[in-house]
Each structure stands twice: as structure tokens, then as C-alpha cells.
């Protein structure tokens, strides 16, 4: 690390670019062959609730991609005095799941339905029973079947259906493909065949056969590719979508488009058995690579795969930091009207630190951060809510501890099943995402929730786009027969440091006590949903 002539590397195209469509930001990271980020770009965006559907507009997708790339390109120009023209390889990743159906003329048939929508309960119940495999409400197959159950007119016209990452990749390369990790959030995967589970594909086709649609499942789903496989090249049309100025050269190879779960595993070196990672930002999920199959399907656990196709148990929660962010913005407004001034990131750091001073169980305060539904606790809608017992100490420390604890409440519910009921062993749990930008306090609270040591690498802030850039570099430079696990261990992470924190027994006990009140108070959240229409 640190011995590469960055300017020469960029001019020679000895780089890899990862672009990830996150929930609130589209982020781009350019790395050199020592895996160090040398330029960054980003674009802020937000989903909208339209006709009771969480969505992003098609225009927002392409405007955001252009700006994220343009800011990265400008960063290269400012730092190194050169115009970005060559890139060794590119990878696109994004929020997993989501429903994007197109007709034969490539027209989007309905607005993008994101992972945040919990509107497919009937479909998931029927499909989970049919497959004897838990199908989450977020998955593409659930959205397709729910549309069928609803009698939606557009279903008969579907010619192609994919995720956000798959969509952007397709438009940039012309290839209708998907990385296997992302594919595992569309439909169950056979980890031996490295493809959609053929038995379940046939079961689904037989289920919908009476409808007389002109397609079968494989006709409309993208082809599955594993990490390291060639996924196409940037076309001239793709250049216009990415770099309207036309400086970027066509023909750049692409790695398979992945989901943020897969890039999170890659970015934390958590693709080997008994390793895991937790990604915390707008949503939160924890993933553990399994040694053995689970004893049975669980509604609270999703079965997905690593980017190499190995089975993973995933606890995915729709809500994490949105409510926290809203409170911090309120505090910033209070500081402003009091003629104060503080950097937002500094305020986050101070508030996280103050939370460590609160009572271990939050002292009788309770909150629910449900901006949207939460399938683990069986909510199709959400209402952010704060409440407290009359004798609770309404201190800032207790308030912040409650806000941070509840952000991990649904996650804790799912992880208890995995660790306590299924006795799954985790040797290493690594954290990444915006949660960990506040340093050790966020890490300490996460360790309390997980009941296990949590490590954060010096690269944790780079997150998903860096993970996708690593997958692009792996495609370019993997050795013959070299697995993704070995590549990451031997070549990438041997040079990066990780800081680990053990959970404090009193924090773990306090979180367990907090969860008793959390579970009991869910009825209040249900009442809030009924009352606040």
C-alpha cells in the first residue's frame, strides 16, 4: 500500500470503479491496484411515498448516476490534474430487491417498487408454503406474484424483470445479468448449481400456468453470474448515461452487478464460513456465512448467498437510522436558534458518546424507529414513536441510548433466533456503514446488541461502493482457480487494520432488559398505526 504512482495508475487505467445506489446516497469509489480509494463521488437522493408506494423515479436514477460520476471525475481532476478517461473495470451495486418490470420495448411498466415496501404478505405466505423456503416481502418473486394476485394488468406484458443494480448494469452494458448475491434476493438459489433453484422455478411456473401468461420465470429473469465472471463491457450508449461529456472510453469491462449485502460482505472480508458482517445505515442487516443448513425456515431470517454463491443467513430490517437522523436534525435546529454552531458530524459523535453514559436498560424509555413496515416484527406500516414511563429519567444520555438501542431492536429480534435458537457460531463480526462513522460508541452499542465482539476496519466508511470496486478488481486480477475468499484474505485485507471491541456484560444485560420492554410495547406501535392514518 502507498507505493503506487496514483496519477500514472489512473492514466493507464489500472483502476477499478465501484458505484453503489444506496438508500440516501449514490456513491462512487475509484481504487488502484493496492485497493486504496483514490477518488470519490456522491449524489444525495431520497425515496418518495407515492400512491402508498416507496419509489425513486427513473429520472432520479440517471440524474443521480451522472452526478455521482461527475463528482468523482472532478475529484480526480482536482487531486491529480488529469481527466478520467480509462478505468480497468467497473461494478454497479445497489439496494437489494426491488421490482422493475419492463415490456418488450424496454418500457418500465410500473414505478420502481423498492425494498422498503411491505405490501406482498399474501404472496410471501403462499410462496413460502409452496417452496418450504422463507420468501421475504422484499424479494422480486414476491412482488411479481403479489401483482398476479392483485390482477395487475401489466404482468402479462413483462419481458424482463430485474433489480436496480441489474437495471443500471443492463443500460450501461446491454447485458441482462445479475450477480448471484443480488440474485439470491430475487429468488431462492441453488448454491451448488450457482443458479436459481430449478425445482422452485418449475413449481412457480406450474403455479401461474393457469393464468396463461406468455412467459415463464427464466424468460424474464436476468442470467446469474458469480464473482469473478465477465459481465459485459461499457457501450457507447452507456458512456452517454455515465459521462455525458464523453471523456470516458467505451469497452471497459464490468463485473456482475451486486446487491448492497454482497458488497458489504466483500468490504468487510466476511465471505468465509463462520464470518459475518453488520451493515447499518438507513436500513440495517446482519449476515452470517453458514457452516450447516438451518434446521427449518424462519420468517425472520432470509437465506441469501455471498457473491461467490455460498449460503448466508441474513437478518434484514427496513428501519435503522432514519429516526435518529430526524432527531439530530431537530437538535441542530435548536442549536441554530440559540445562535450556536456545530458541525453535524461532530454532533453525531458527541450524541453517540453521551448515549454510553445512560442507564444500561435506558431507564424506562422506549421508542420505535418505524418509518416504514418491519417484517421481522410483522408490521406492514410504521409510525415513528417515542414514549417513557412517568418515573423515567428524561436525560439526554437515556434519550440517545434509547434512540440508538431501538434502531437495532428489530435486528436483535432476528439475531436471537440465529445465535440462541440455531446455535450458529460466529468467529468474526465486522461492521460497516454510516452507523460506524461516529467511532467507538456506535461500535460499542452494536457489540451490546449482538452479544459478540464487533470489529471495524479502517475502510469501514467506504462501505458498499468500495466492496463493489474490490469485486471489479477481483474479476481483472484473480489467479487461476483463486476463490474470492482467498483473494480477499491474501491480497486485500492483509494490509488493512481492524479495531475490535468486546461487548461489556452490563451493556449486554441492559440491552436484553430493554428488549423485554421493546417486545411488550409493540402493541402501542400497532395502536399508533391504527390511530394515525
pLDDT tens per residue, range 233-270: 999 999 999 999 999 999 999 999 999 989 989 988 99
pLDDT tens per residue, range 137-150: 989 999 999 999 99
Coil, helix or strand at residue 385: strand
pLDDT tens per residue, range 307-347: 999 999 999 898 999 999 999 999 999 999 999 999 999 99
SS3 per residue for 89-129 = EEEEEECCCCEEEECCCCCECCCCECCCCCCCHHHHHHHHH
Angle at 467 between CA 166 and CA 280, to 5 degrees: 90
Residue 191, C-alpha cell as written in the block: 448454491
- What are the φ and ψ backbone dihedral angles of 312, each rounded to 5 degrees? -135, 135
- Of 156-160, 173-177, 455-459, the least confident: 455-459
Question: Whats the size of the chain, residue-wise?
Answer: 533
List the beta bridge partners of residue 421: none
Coil, helix or strand at residue 487: helix
185 neighbors 97 (Cβ within 8 angstroms)? yes
Statement: residue 1 has pLDDT above 70: no
Coil, helix or strand at residue 252: coil
Find the helix or strand (DSSP H, E) in which 346 lies.
helix 344-355
* Predicted pLDDT at 439: 87
Average pLDDT over residues 483-502: 90
* DSSP assigned state of 379: B
pLDDT tens per residue, range 384-438: 999 999 999 999 999 999 999 999 999 999 999 998 899 998 888 888 878 988 8
Find the helix or strand (DSSP H, E) in which 501 lies.
strand 498-501
Alpha helices for 13-154 (secondary structure H): 58-80, 121-131, 140-149
Tally Cβ neighbours within 10 Å of residue 210: 7
Q: What percent of the chain has pLDDT over 90?
A: 83
Residue 460 banded pLDDT, cuts 50, 70, 90: low
92 neighbors 165 (Cβ within 8 angstroms)? yes
Distance from chain centroid for Cα 16 = 21
**Cα(first)–Cα(last) distance of the chain, in Å?**
55
Residue 375 banded pLDDT, cuts 50, 70, 90: confident
Better-predicted residue by pLDDT, 466 or 2: 466
Residue 311, C-alpha cell as written in the block: 449460503
Statement: residue 462 has pLDDT above 70: no
The CA distance from 328 to 334, in Å, is 10
Residue 265, C-alpha cell as written in the block: 460482505
What predicted TM-score, i.e. pTM, was given to this entire model? Answer: 0.82
* Predicted pLDDT at 245: 96
Amino acid at each position: 500500500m502507498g507505493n503506487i504512482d496514483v496519477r500514472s495508475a489512473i492514466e493507464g487505467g489500472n483502476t477499478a470503479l465501484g458505484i453503489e445506489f444506496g438508500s440516501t446516497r449514490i456513491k462512487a469509489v475509484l481504487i488502484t491496484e493496492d485497493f486504496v480509494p483514490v477518488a470519490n463521488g456522491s449524489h444525495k437522493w431520497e425515496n418518495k411515498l407515492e400512491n402508498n408506494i416507496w419509489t425513486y423515479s427513473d429520472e432520479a436514477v440517471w440524474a443521480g448516476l451522472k452526478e455521482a460520476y461527475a463528482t468523482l471525475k472532478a475529484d480526480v481532476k482536482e487531486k491529480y490534474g488529469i481527466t478520467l478517461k480509462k478505468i480497468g473495470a467497473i461494478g454497479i451495486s445497489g439496494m437489494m430487491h426491488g421490482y422493475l418490470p419492463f415490456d418488450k420495448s424496454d418500457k418500465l411498466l410500473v414505478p420502481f417498487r423498492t425494498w422498503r415496501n411491505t405490501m406482498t404478505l399474501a404472496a410471501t405466505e403462499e410462496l413460502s408454503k409452496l417452496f418450504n423456503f422463507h420468501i421475504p416481502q422484499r424479494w422480486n418473486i414476491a412482488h411479481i406474484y403479489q401483482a398476479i394476485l392483485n390482477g395487475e394488468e401489466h404482468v402479462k406484458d413483462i419481458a424482463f424483470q430485474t433489480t436496480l443494480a441489474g437495471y443500471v448494469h443492463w443500460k450501461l452494458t446491454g447485458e441482462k445479468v445479475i450477480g448471484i448475491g443480488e440474485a439470491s434476493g430475487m429468488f431462492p438459489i441453488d448454491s451448488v448449481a450457482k443458479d436459481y433453484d430449478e425445482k422452485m422455478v418449475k413449481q412457480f411456473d406450474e403455479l401461474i400456468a393457469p393464468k396463461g401468461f406468455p412467459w415463464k420465470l427464466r424468460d424474464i429473469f436476468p442470467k446469474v453470474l458469480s464473482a469473478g465472471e465477465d459481465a459485459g463491457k461499457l457501450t457507447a450508449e452507456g458512456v452517454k448515461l455515465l459521462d455525458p461529456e464523453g471523456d470516458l472510453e467505451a469497452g471497459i469491462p464490468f463485473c456482475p452487478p451486486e446487491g448492497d449485502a454482497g458488497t458489504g460482505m466483500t468490504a468487510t472480508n466476511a465471505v468465509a464460513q463462520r464470518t459475518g458482517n453488520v451493515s447499518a445505515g438507513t436500513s440495517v442487516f446482519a449476515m452470517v456465512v453458514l457452516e450447516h443448513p438451518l434446521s427449518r425456515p424462519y420468517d425472520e431470517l432470509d437465506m441469501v448467498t455471498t457473491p461467490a454463491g455460498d449460503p448466508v443467513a441474513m437478518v434484514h430490517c427496513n428501519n435503522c437510522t432514519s429516526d435518529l437522523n430526524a432527531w439530530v436534525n431537530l437538535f441542530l435546529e435548536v442549536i441554530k436558534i440559540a445562535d450556536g454552531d456545530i458541525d453535524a458530524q461532530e454532533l453525531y459523535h458527541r450524541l453517540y458518546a453521551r448515549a454510553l453514559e445512560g442507564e444500561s436498560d435506558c431507564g424506562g424509555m422506549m421508542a420505535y424507529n418505524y418509518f416504514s413496515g418491519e417484517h421481522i416484527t410483522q408490521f406492514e406500516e410504521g409510525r415513528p414513536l417515542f414514549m417513557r414511563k412517568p418515573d423515567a429519567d428524561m436525560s439526554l444520555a437515556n434519550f440517545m441510548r434509547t434512540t440508538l438501542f431501538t434502531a437495532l431492536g428489530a435486528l436483535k429480534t432476528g439475531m436471537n433466533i440465529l445465535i440462541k435458537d440455531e446455535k450458529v457460531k460466529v468467529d468474526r463480526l465486522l461492521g460497516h456503514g454510516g452507523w460506524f462513522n461516529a467511532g467507538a460508541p456506535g461500535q460499542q452499542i452494536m457489540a451490546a446488541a449482538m452479544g459478540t465482539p464487533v470489529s471495524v476496519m479502517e475502510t469501514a466508511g467506504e462501505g458498499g461502493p468500495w466492496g463493489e470496486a474490490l469485486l471489479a478488481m477481483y474479476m481483472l486480477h484473480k489467479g487461476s482457480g483463486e476463490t474470492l475468499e482467498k483473494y480477499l484474505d491474501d491480497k486485500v485485507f492483509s494490509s488493512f487494520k481492524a479495531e475490535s471491541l468486546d461487548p461489556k456484560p452490563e451493556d449486554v444485560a441492559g440491552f436484553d432488559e430493554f428488549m423485554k420492554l421493546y417486545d411488550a410495547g409493540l402493541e402501542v406501535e400497532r395502536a399508533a398505526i391504527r390511530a394515525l392514518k
